[in-house]
Amino acid sequence: MKMLLKNITVLPMAEPGKIIEKGYVLINGNLIEAVGSGDPPAGEYEKVIDGTNYLVMPGLINTHTHAAMTMLRSYADDLPLMEWLQTKIWPMEDRLTGDDIYWGTMLAIIEMIKSGTTTFTDMYFHMDRVAQAVEETGIRAVLSRGMIGVGPENQLAIEQSRQLIEQWQGAANGRITFMLGPHAPYTCPPDYLKQVADLARETGAGINIHVAETLDEINTINRDYGVSSVVYLEKAGIFEFPVTAAHCVHLSDEDIAILKKYGVGVAHNPESNMKLASGIAPVPRMLEEGVPVGLGTDGASSNNDLDMLQETRTCALLHKVNNMDPTVLPAEQALTMATALGAKALHLGDQIGCLRPGYKADMILINLNQPHMIPRYDLIANLVYAGKASDVDTVIIDGRIVMENRQLTTIDEKQVLEKCKEIAARLVHNKD
């Protein structure tokens, strides 16, 4: 489809401070063909959107979540991470079926699209059903099958990951990217990480892993191996491949230097880390060193929503108060983490995250004619400090409109909500 957005405020996120007050975006197929100011090029368009009173910007990129954990939203709260996992989450996850994962992912995708997310990164199980949901809904995703080296399914996870990559890598017109998903240093011994590295070498896939999330993890790895989690992974050869490291809360200067050396992308999850009291990642320091840091929500059982605009605001505020400096992480830098830097953290920075010719046509239209968006002295500050998920009016992914005027076009929202209510009732009824 050849589509034109005209008379619209454009926030390309391709260079600092650039805003086109009355501009246009031309979409040809699944790619952006042109971005400019003033009158658009003449031509025949199958779809024309008049963007008066609207902003168009790159879609938000959720660099870390567990989508189907929507089915566990508010099931277990106000607990430390390991107690939360061992006594509540893991036992409940044992009862989830492939169908449960599919519908929970559909629920997550609804929430993400309606709040402006066009790409998400997922680590979970029954990932064939997750890929199915991604293919059907039109969203873009980076998927990985969780792999626990100390668990009974450690070899099954290796084989299933290989099969998933063979079946789904580049599927859905390139919207699906598969990575390998070793869970974390404390659940993956060195010999298992070697198997993961061998599979990465064989398949060409990148690696998605939780790193340095809690002090318990840091203490465990140091006790068992005498090094930090980051050094542990470096010695295991994991950083020889494209890596997205989730959390990275407890890092030394040496750790940050290693991440920088290998071009590791970091997924910062401020709200989940706050809720589980895991700590505050040294994001300003990582950014200063040039480490690409994106934003993630984590799963809906530890956040408890998937709202990336809210996550962006939280990120900016958290690091200001943590550093006792209101100039730390200004609004534009936080928004860059949610878009262009998020793409780089996923090693997709040459495809998504900016509005520029040749990039994928992933973008959102935000209604600026809202009380909390007026006056507009600083548009980016308004977005970060006052913007709401409900301001997202239209979502375009891969050149396809998946939401228009707040109405989803690829998902039966009512059906998904009813199915998820049924699943939740069954899970609670079967509670041990």
Read off the pLDDT of residues 138-152 as tens digits, 9 standing for 90 and up: 999 999 999 999 999
Per-residue pLDDT for 169 more than 60? yes
Closest CA relative to residue 98, chosen from 152, 34, 145, 167: 145
Determine if the pTM surpasses 0.75.
yes
CA atoms of 123 and 111, how far apart (whole Å): 18
Backbone angles phi, psi at 125, to 5 degrees: -130, 175
What confidence score (pLDDT) does residue 432 get? 45
Average pLDDT value for the chain: 97
- Residue 122 sits at the vertex; the CA angle it makes with 161 and 341, to the nearest 5 degrees, is 120
Q: Give tens-digit pLDDT for 35-91.
A: 999 999 999 999 999 999 999 999 999 999 999 999 999 998 998 888 888 898 889
What CATH architecture applies to the domain 2-59+352-406? Roll (2.30)
Rounded mean pLDDT, 86-115? 95
Residue-level pLDDT at 235: 98
Cβ 9 vs Cβ 51: under 8 Å: yes
How high is the pLDDT of residue 431? 53
Pick the CATH number of 60-345 from 3.40.50.720, 3.40.47.10, 3.40.50.11720, 3.20.20.140: 3.20.20.140
Residue 379, SS3 per DSSP: helix
**Residues forming CATH 2.30.40.10 domain(s) in the chain:** 2-59+352-406
**pLDDT (average), residues 104-124:** 98
Minimum mean pLDDT among 86-90, 120-124, 228-232, 363-367: which range? 86-90
Query: Which residues make up the CATH 3.20.20.140 domain(s) of the chain?
Result: 60-345
The whole-number average pLDDT for the span 178-187 is 98
Residue 430: per-residue pLDDT: 66
pLDDT in tens, 306-349: 999 999 999 999 999 999 999 999 999 999 999 999 999 999 99
210 has a pLDDT exceeding 70? yes
Dump the DSSP string for 72-121. GTTTS-S--HHHIIIIIIHHHHTT--HHHHHHHHHHHHHHHHHTTEEEEE
Per-residue pLDDT averaged across 257-281, rounded? Answer: 97
pLDDT at 166 over 80: yes
Q: Are 30 and 335 in contact (CB under 8 A)?
A: no
